[in-house]
Amino acid sequence: MWTLVGRGWSHGRALAVWAAGTAQRGRLEPLPTPTRGAPAEFRAWDRLYTSAERKEKIDMSRFSVENIRNFSIIAHVDHGKSTLADRLLELTGTIDKTKNNKQVLDKLQVERERGITVKAQTASLFYNWEGKQYLLNLIDTPGHVDFSYEVSRSLSACQGVLLVVDANEGIQAQTVANFFLAFEAQLSVIPVINKIDLKNADPESVEKQIEKVFDIPGDECIKISAKLGTNVERVLQAVIERIPPPKVHRINPLRALVFDSTFDQYRGVIANVALFDGVVSKGDKIVSAHTKKIHEVNEVGVLNPNEQPAHKLYAGQVGYLIAGMKDVTEAQIGDTLYLHKQPVEPLPGFKSAKPMVFAGMYPIDQSEYNNLKSAIEKLTINDSSVTVHRDSSLALGAGWRLGFLGLLHMEVFNQRLEQEYNASVILTTPTVPYKAVLSSAKLIKDYREKEITIINPAQFPEKSKVTEYLEPVVLGTIITPDEYTGKVMMLCQARRAVQKNMIFIDQNRVMLKYIFPLNEIVVDFYDSLKSLSSGYASFDYEDAGYQTAELVKMDILLNGNIVEELVTIVHKDKAHSVGKAICERLKDSLPRQLFEIAIQAAIGSKIIARETVKAYRKNVLAKCYGGDITRKMKLLKRQAEGKKKLRKVGNIEVPRDAFIKVLKTQSDK
Amino acid sequence: MALPGARARGWAAATKMAQTRRHAEGAKGSLSPAPPSPRAALYVHWPYCEKRCSYCNFNKYVPRGVEEAAMRSCLVTEAQTLLGLSGVRRVDSVFFGGGTPSLASPNTVAAVLEAVDQAAHLPADSEVTLEANPTSAPGSRLAAFGAAGINRLSIGLQSLDDKELQLLGRTHSASDALQTLAEARRLFPGRVSVDLMLGLPAQKSGPWLRQLQELLGYCDDHISLYQLTLERGTALFTQVQRGTLPAPDPEVAAEMYQEGRALLREAGFRQYEVSNFARNGALSTHNWTYWQCGQYLGVGPGAHGRFVPQGAGGHTREARIQTLEPDNWMKEVTLFGHGTRKHVPLGELELLEEVLAMGLRTDVGITHQHWQRFASQLSLWDVFGSSQEVKALLVQGLLLLDHRGLRCSWEGLAVLDSLLLTLLPRLQEAWLQRAPSPGQGG
């Protein structure tokens, strides 16, 4: 999880840390402007020193299970999820209507570009309807498939979802992905068509799309304008009518699902929990089913949307819990908490984070190593899904190999390093975890397993020692205006994708489904898709396991010497084009030397691409008389010093820049 | 500081008779200095120009009006002061550079030379060079400089293409240049050098070689080839930066250099240094002193020097630089007798590094005897004989290390700066590992 960004109301906490600890406010575009920063700081202050004392503790026992509804809002980016959430909070008096509640959440640029919805706020709404007081828990979900595991855990705390679709843009790829997550979790889906106030809104057509794609009767759609508040009350009523109350038991021993957690530097981990059974209160000793660690509960409460302490939390309710946990890994998403000495069957579906995209991260300058290290530590304290392994490269120096849930996760992480910690890094081209099924008895003995995961190309076992290689694949959904279908299909083909499905979701929009090798979309697929469709096509994907792949290890040679940093695992069909591209980039970035350099890409002993850097014929022919000697000597000595630092491959000097140019993520291809 | 022109002319007149073509032997014999020695070369900087050239970032000024008398007096004073400080007993060569020293009056030149001869000995056959710009040096003026004691001219011809001259911001045309060259040869036969530039924006190899060929029909026995270096702060740099001029193509420049030096070789010129070519033994002894790490004094604003201040009891060679800006420099000279802004003692290793880097610029390179004068305990073999990296350069045929000494091959001379990046660190390493010896020469 990458919690600081999108944790809804817990956001104030993150802002407070930044505001106090950094002088970079000006760079935090689009983070706090003074008007936003001030209430955020106030919130943090409020929580830190006074919330427990000043506020009355709520008695949550008065909300019985049948009056509780737990739900999420899911939507494609900019379809109005946050605005709808704001309106729901206002309607229920949870936040003040007079305040400027417009889009309380701040977003990183990358999130906007990449079609990610930041998490909505988790909030408990108190709502009176037909003489009864209901407790409606709006549970946040991260809005991107990189976080589909987190989404699935959040959804497992819900019984229903509001599926928000823009009346103008209609169903987008992410709408589809979100719908199926909810569908698989067997949740009630309430389709909400938003932005009906827009001039080009066509809610009827969107209604038909929903019927066609999701098989939901059109009359179940609620047409609203969250911006103007039109029909929003009906949404709340539908939540009560169409979503069932949770099936839970207060009398059973405690069983609580952790669906989110954040780290507060003063209070430790704050876990957001949904109680499936039992009751929890201050002083209880709780156990994590995953870590088996015991903690004593210091505080429980509801999110209102700020943390509001309560005496107890009861089965069916959603709230937060603080129990002296020092590390987010002690409250991992999907974990089950139970009372000490009263173990329960953990809730199903817990998985440790599984990184799918790896990249090397190095400081631009080695003197920045410690600063970068501290920045990465600070970011990962809130995001246990980033795996961090120290790594070092002969060319790039000391750094790390980081594992991310997906590409977007990686970009968010990198952008936050830059924006929040002012850290400039070299991020190497992302790779995916390949697998090999071993046939060599000796290797199986060495690895103590038959199927191994290969993260570092250096570990790639020879073909003679494996039965087969496997590569990760994803099921991609693309929704595009029909006029771009041809181009999109060509792009997908070039990326080795296999078409699974193609349907028209209305007269002029097509939904395509493809199985993609993950490796083929990690670099610039999204940008290519956007550019060939003038920005109209949307893309989303979900994990689809592994498939057999003809993988080869490609070496890059300089005058016959292998450059270890540039060993690459590549699909056989792509070897030539990838090899050629690397050779060309090297040719452009290798300075001429006193001899000719042959740059070759090779698979085994077979050369598949070659470039040549001609020998250097002459230095700059400058005069050198009495007045020039000092300057000349200084220059020569500086160059000689620089030369000492160069990595040598055989007798060829390779500047760090050349490696950077080859290894760095190429966004503009 | 009375500077009677008569006495100056007296020195000049006396030397006239003694001017013989003796530099053929000179380059080999008397010119290898033995530091520390009571001999030195002397550089005089004239900081003023008529206008700024588009490629030049030198220490030069375009003045509204030069008080030449004051300037002259300061040059004389500083020359006297520094000669005294150095304890130099004999000046082997004088070079008037700039700026545009041919804009100075012959009187000034005469005064300086007279002062030098007074303060130290300036033998009659010393090489006394003046940098001259074609437009500022009509024949009559050149003759006056000759009378003042100048016996060698270096003409900033730069190009024989008027468009290129315009691009460079020169005030002369190709025909001006050829005319000046002809007059100079008449006045200083066998002692005229011309500069030619290569690697200008959009310049092509073929036409440039034809220029060089044409120049061979007019020139004397000395030619310098320089590649245009785009220096920050110059008009050309800005134009290339903005894209109004194409950046010079290093490949084309490489071709010009290789073919140019081959052409000059065929024409009987010896490439005695990276940028310098001479025939009939017409090497510049003044510049040779720089490359052999002989002592030299720098007089004038921003001038550099390297000498042991023996007159003040010093034993270590110093790198010296005079105050850059002419007005400030003049104030300092008036007040203190010199305008030395900075003097930094050169360490033994530093001096050796200069011996290496400068010596290899010449075709003879560094002889064992020459090296021994600076490093009595550490031979060239000790330093370079066992290094694998150096061996690779020898095998590649870029460098030679034999009984004569260390030098570049014909191909190696063109890539000397790259070779030095291997040789300098090797020297440092050998220096650090050397057996400690109290009697290390310096």
Query: Which of A175, A124, A123, A118 has its CA nearest to residue A150?
Result: A118
Nearest by CB to residue A617, choosing from B258, B396, B425, is B258
Is residue A488 in some structural domain?
A: yes
pLDDT in the model for residue B435: 67
- Checking if the pLDDT of A142 tops 80, the result is no
- Average confidence (pLDDT) over A265-284: 92
Q: Taking a C-beta distance cutoff of 8 angstroms, is the pair A601, A607 a contact?
A: yes
Per DSSP, the three-state class of A602 is strand
- Checking if the pLDDT of B32 tops 60, the result is no
* A502 touches B: beta carbon within 8 Å: no
- A139 & A260 share domain: no
**Percent of chain A residues topping a pLDDT of 90:** 45
ipTM of the complex, rounded to two decimals? 0.90
pLDDT digits (tens, 9 = 90+) for A343-365: 999 888 777 667 888 888 988 88
Query: Which of B12, B15, B45 has its CA nearest to residue B324?
Result: B45
* Beta strands A68-75 and A160-166, pairing class: parallel
* B433 touches A: beta carbon within 8 Å: no
pLDDT in the model for residue A426: 83
pLDDT in the model for residue B137: 66
- Checking if the pLDDT of B329 tops 80, the result is yes
Tracing tokens 């020998």 back to the chain, one arrives at A615
* A34 touches B: beta carbon within 8 Å: no
pLDDT digits (tens, 9 = 90+) for B367-419: 999 999 999 889 999 999 999 999 999 999 999 999 999 999 999 999 999 99
CA A116, A119, A120, A126 torsion-angle sign:
positive
Q: How far is CA B294 from CA A492, B30, B91, in A?
A: 72, 11, 11
Q: Say yes or no for a CB contact (<8 Å) between B425 and A640.
A: yes
Distance CA B123, CA A202 (A): 102
Is residue A90 in some structural domain?
A: yes
Distance CA A642, CA B415 (A): 18
CB contacts, 8 Å: B158 with chain A: none
pLDDT in the model for residue B108: 96
Q: Which long-range contacts (CB under 8 A, 24 or more apart) does A199-206 make?
A: A200/A168, A201/A167, A201/A168, A202/A167, A202/A168, A202/A170, A203/A167, A205/A170, A205/A506, A206/A165, A206/A166, A206/A167, A206/A170, A206/A171
pLDDT digits (tens, 9 = 90+) for B148-202: 999 999 999 999 999 999 999 988 999 999 999 999 999 999 999 999 999 999 9
Amino acid type, B408: C
Nearest by CB to residue A619, choosing from B226, B354, B414, is B414
Residue A274 in marked binding region = no
Q: How far is CA A82 from CA A44, A86, A88, B220, in A?
A: 21, 6, 10, 85
- A445 & A531 share domain: yes
Q: Which two three-digit tokens encode residue A531?
A: 């550019």
Q: Say yes or no for a CB contact (<8 Å) between A636 and B361.
A: no
pLDDT in the model for residue A252: 93
Cα dihedral A333, A339, A343, A347 in deg (nearest 10)? -30
Distance CA A499, CA B251 (A): 50
- Checking if the pLDDT of B91 tops 80, the result is yes
Q: What is the largest CA-CA distance in chain B?
A: 62
Is residue A45 in some structural domain?
A: no
- A218 & A137 share domain: yes
Tell me the pLDDT band of A55, cut-offs 50, 70 and 90.
Answer: low
- A221 & A81 share domain: yes
- A583 & A615 share domain: yes
Task: Identify the domain boundary among A509, A534, A549.
Answer: A549
By residue range, what is the domain housing residue A527?
Answer: 434-549
Interface residue of A592, A620, A621, A645 to substitute, partner B, most B CBs within 10 Å? A621
Domain count, chain A: 5
pLDDT in the model for residue B25: 37
When the pLDDT of each residue in chain A is averaged and rounded to a whole number, the result is 82
- A162 & A99 share domain: yes
Tell me the pLDDT band of A666, cut-offs 50, 70 and 90.
Answer: low
Is residue A346 in some structural domain?
A: no
- In the beta sheet, which residues pair with residue B194? B155, B223
Query: Which of A437, A431, A432, A426 has its CA nearest to residue A400?
Result: A426
Residue A569 in marked binding region = no
Distance CA B354, CA A666 (A): 44
Tell me the pLDDT band of B255, cut-offs 50, 70 and 90.
Answer: very high
Distance CA B403, CA B387 (A): 17
* A131 touches B: beta carbon within 8 Å: no
- A285 & A162 share domain: no
Domain ranges of chain B: 34-288, 370-433
Query: Which of A469, A401, A484 has its CA nearest to residue A435?
Result: A469
- Average confidence (pLDDT) over B69-84: 97
- A236 & A374 share domain: no
pLDDT in the model for residue B442: 42
pLDDT in the model for residue A152: 77
CB contacts, 8 Å: A643 with chain B: 421, 425
Is residue A532 in some structural domain?
A: yes
- Average confidence (pLDDT) over B239-259: 92
Q: Which helix (H) or strand (E) holds A407?
A: helix A407-421
Q: Which helix (H) or strand (E) holds A472?
A: strand A466-481
Q: Taking a C-beta distance cutoff of 8 angstroms, is the pair A257, A286 a contact?
A: no
Interface contacts (A, B; CB < 8 Å): 100
Nearest by CB to residue B274, choosing from A594, A621, A626, is A621
Q: What is the largest CA-CA distance in chain A?
A: 99
* Beta strands A498-504 and A509-517, pairing class: antiparallel
Distance CA A162, CA A71 (A): 7
What is the CATH number for A176?
3.40.50.300
What is the CATH number for A294?
2.40.30.10
pLDDT in the model for residue A96: 66
- A224 & A261 share domain: no
Listing DSSP states for A530-557 in one string gives HHHTTT--EEEEEEEEEEEE-EEEEEEE
Tracing tokens 């944790």 back to the chain, one arrives at A7
Whole-structure pTM over 0.90, yes or no?
no
- Average confidence (pLDDT) over B241-264: 93
pLDDT in the model for residue B113: 97
Is residue A344 in some structural domain?
A: no
**Residue A448: DSSP 8-state:** T
Interface residue of B342, B418, B427 to substitute, partner A, most A CBs within 10 Å? B418
- A322 & A411 share domain: no
Residue A571 in marked binding region = no
* B306 touches A: beta carbon within 8 Å: yes
- A111 & A232 share domain: yes
Distance CA A268, CA A246 (A): 30
Task: Identify the domain boundary among A528, A549, A570.
Answer: A549
What is the CATH number for A397?
3.30.70.870
Q: Taking a C-beta distance cutoff of 8 angstroms, is the pair B16, B22 a contact?
A: no
Instruction: Indicate the class that CATH gives domain B34-288.
Output: alpha beta
- Average confidence (pLDDT) over A273-295: 94
The three-state (H, E, C) secondary structure of chain B, written as one string:
CCCCHHHHHHHHHHHHHHCCCCHHHHCCCCCCCCCCCCEEEEEEEECECCCCCCCCCCCCECCCCCCHHHHHHHHHHHHHHHHHHHCCCEEEEEEEEECCHHHCCHHHHHHHHHHHHHHCECCCCCEEEEEECHHHCCHHHHHHHHHHCCCEEEEEEECCCHHHHHHCCCCCCHHHHHHHHHHHHHHCCCCEEEEEEECCCCCCHHHHHHHHHHHHCCCCCEEEEEECCCCCCCHHHHHHHHCCCCCCCHHHHHHHHHHHHHHHHHCCCEEEECCEEECCCCCCHHHHHHHCCCCEEEECCCCEEEECCHHHCCCCCEEEEECCCHHHHHHHHHHHCCCEEEEEECCHHHHHHHHHHHHCCECCCEEHHHHHHHCCCCCHHHHHCCCHHHHHHHHCCCEEECCCEEEECHHHHHCHHHHHHHHHHHHHHHHHHCCCCCCCCC
Task: Identify the domain boundary among A287, A307, A339.
Answer: A339
* B118 touches A: beta carbon within 8 Å: no
- Checking if the pLDDT of B249 tops 60, the result is yes
Listing DSSP states for A31-72 in one string gives S--HHHHHHHHHHHHIIIIIHHHHSPPB-GGGS-GGGEEEEE
State the nearest Cα–Cα gap between B372 and chain A, in angstroms.
21
Q: Taking a C-beta distance cutoff of 8 angstroms, is the pair B150, B137 a contact?
A: no
* B225 touches A: beta carbon within 8 Å: yes
User: Which residues 621-650 in chain A show a CB within 8 A of chain B?
Assistant: 621-627, 629-630, 632-633, 636-637, 639-640, 643-644
Q: Taking a C-beta distance cutoff of 8 angstroms, is the pair A126, A133 a contact?
A: yes
Distance CA A569, CA A563 (A): 14
- A411 & A519 share domain: no
Is residue A660 in some structural domain?
A: yes
* Beta strands A222-223 and A294-296, pairing class: unpaired
pLDDT digits (tens, 9 = 90+) for A556-607: 999 999 988 888 899 999 999 999 999 999 999 999 999 999 999 999 999 9
CA A631, A637, A642, A647 torsion-angle sign:
positive
**Residue A653: DSSP 8-state:** E
Distance CA A28, CA A420 (A): 6
- Average confidence (pLDDT) over A81-87: 86
pLDDT digits (tens, 9 = 90+) for B411-422: 999 999 999 999
Q: Which two three-digit tokens encode residue A54?
A: 């000043």
State the nearest Cα–Cα gap between A31 and chain B, in angstroms.
37
* A577 touches B: beta carbon within 8 Å: no
